[in-house]
Amino acid sequence: MHRSGTSLLSNCLVKNGFSIGKSLNKDKNVQNPNGYFENDAFTHFHDSLLHYNSSTWCNISDKKMTYLIEHIQQYRKLIKTEFDDSKYILIKDPRLTFFVNFIKDVCEDIFDYHILFLTRNKDECCHSLNTAQSIGILNCEILYDKTMSKYQNEFMKIDHEDIVYKNDEVINNIGKYCNITLKSTSHIVDKRLHRSKSNSDYFYTHVVSYYEGNNRLDNLYAIFEVLNTQKLSKNKYEKILIVYCIIKDNAPDVNTIEIYEKLKKLKNNNIDIQIYYRINTGGTVQTMYQTYKYLIQNKITTKYIGVWEDDCIFKNENILDEVQVYLDKGCIYVGSYWDCEDGYALPLNINGGVKRLIPNKPNRIVPWVTNSHIIPHSNDSTLISDDKYIWCEDPYITTMDNLKLIDKKMGCFTLAPLDQKYTHCEHGINYGEVGFPTRLHLNGFTFFGLLKRRYFMDLKTFSIGNKSI
């Protein structure tokens, strides 16, 4: 697995006479100051195998990997070119986890091979990979799980911590596994390089909930421009983080990854960029919950967090100062208040307010909230009484401390079933835009919606899908 000590262990084996080949990768950086101990020629070949299977190193297809006899012949030729007559050769690349049968076919009747399978604590591994490659933590976890599923009993499994803290024992066991004698390498292990979890600190995290099917990619760049040019607070100039949550109907493919990875090029001294993908269920409230968990798991701290759909952004500078006024009054979050012509009873002042229903309003399309929308594990389809409804629209601007209070009191923010595809009325309204704040209210929380036409502006708003279901 990536970030599991493969470079350190390779260094230990090189010290014991193993050859990496002629095309040695010479990169060194803060993540691997001693180098990666990889062979560029083999890395390129492995990438081509992945491409042949519609995959990349960080986005592995669920289908069984295939290859041609020509691939086997080319690989054997590459081994001969890179290693000449080396007695012990080392090919280090986590990509090969998905091509074990290929390696066996390459080596059949020609090479004696042994496979070392390196593992690491899942949280540590994913946090390290996220830090090194700026890959969303959820995507790191998917890659980790797929990699671990490829373990076979014939492999020698080695834990990352053992390489660091029990190095002599690991090297001795490798020697026994390969039937060779290896010398101690504990002296080359620098325990200070045992990095676990990132610890990034931000003043504000702007989360963009973007459904790919709406085809509003330009909005993602427009949001960056606003955040890059407008102050969020009169007195604060700290760094901010943008998290793009890309929502898809199916798992992301290679082309999808390439499209959204370009967003990371926007990163500058003031703004960091993170991207992760999720399946289309639960709406914006689900994005809020998953990103909240993402930040905690990734040890990312932020004072403020705002969860937005991609089609809206704040209009004026110092928006967080306006938000703080209502947070100081005890509001659990601040959203937006949309002017409405549908006859809702709207408690309103010059700055905004919250929405309630007029009882027995005729021809109402939404909301229709039942007990199952707001009570965990309930299948009760009884409608709640009209006087219980209370809400304001997204965004959800708050603090991490407030999200922790919600989590402690209510658990998962939306009760929309994860195995159901998003629909506007059910997931978007009854579970989400209306159901979520109604649950908050019934659990003793308050909130406030800033007047949309005064504080917010629309970006591209075209959307697909049936708004009546």
Q: What would the pLDDT profile of 73-109 be if each residue is shown by its tens digit? A: 999 999 999 998 899 999 999 899 999 999 999 999 9
Q: What proportion of the chain, given as a percentage, has pLDDT over 70?
A: 91
**Span(s) in the chain for CATH 3.90.550:** 201-458
Say whether pLDDT at 254 is over 60: yes
Residue 248: phi, psi to the nearest 5?
-130, 155
Task: Determine contact, residues 338/391, Cβ cutoff 8 Å.
Answer: no
State how far the Cα of 388 lies from the Cα of 390, in Å rounded to an integer: 6
> In the predicted model, what is the mean pLDDT of residues 171-183?
95
Only one residue has tokens 């421009």, namely 225
- Helix H or strand E encompassing 349: strand 348-349
| pLDDT of amino acid 191 | 64
| pLDDT of amino acid 196 | 46
Say whether pLDDT at 31 is over 50: no
| pLDDT of amino acid 30 | 38
Q: How confident is the model at residue 32 (pLDDT cuts 50, 70, 90)?
A: very low
β 156-159/201-211 pair status: unpaired
| pLDDT of amino acid 199 | 47
State how far the Cα of 5 lies from the Cα of 19, in Å rounded to an integer: 18
pLDDT in tens, 449-469: 999 999 999 999 988 765 555
Say whether pLDDT at 239 is over 60: yes
pTM of the shown model: 0.61
Q: Which one-letter amino acid corresponds to residue 86?
A: S
Q: Which one-letter amino acid corresponds to residue 119?
A: T
| pLDDT of amino acid 36 | 66
Return the bridge partners of 393, or none.
336
Class of residue 68 by CB neighbours under 10 A (exposed 0-12, middle 13-18, buried 19+)? exposed
Residue 269: phi, psi to the nearest 5?
-65, -20
State how far the Cα of 88 lies from the Cα of 19, in Å rounded to an integer: 6
> In the predicted model, what is the mean pLDDT of residues 209-237?
92
Task: Determine contact, residues 327/398, Cβ cutoff 8 Å.
Answer: yes
State how far the Cα of 294 lies from the Cα of 289, in Å rounded to an integer: 9
> In the predicted model, what is the mean pLDDT of residues 382-398?
95
> In the predicted model, what is the mean pLDDT of residues 111-116?
94
| pLDDT of amino acid 198 | 45
CATH of domain 201-458: 3.90.550
pLDDT in tens, 269-315: 899 999 989 999 999 999 999 999 989 877 889 999 999 999 999 99
Q: What proportion of the chain, given as a percentage, has pLDDT over 90?
A: 63
Residue 447: phi, psi to the nearest 5?
-155, 175
What tokens were used for 97? 């986890």
pLDDT in tens, 256-270: 888 998 999 999 989
pLDDT in tens, 209-220: 999 999 999 999
Residue 391 in 3-state DSSP? strand
Q: What is the mean pLDDT of the chain?
A: 88
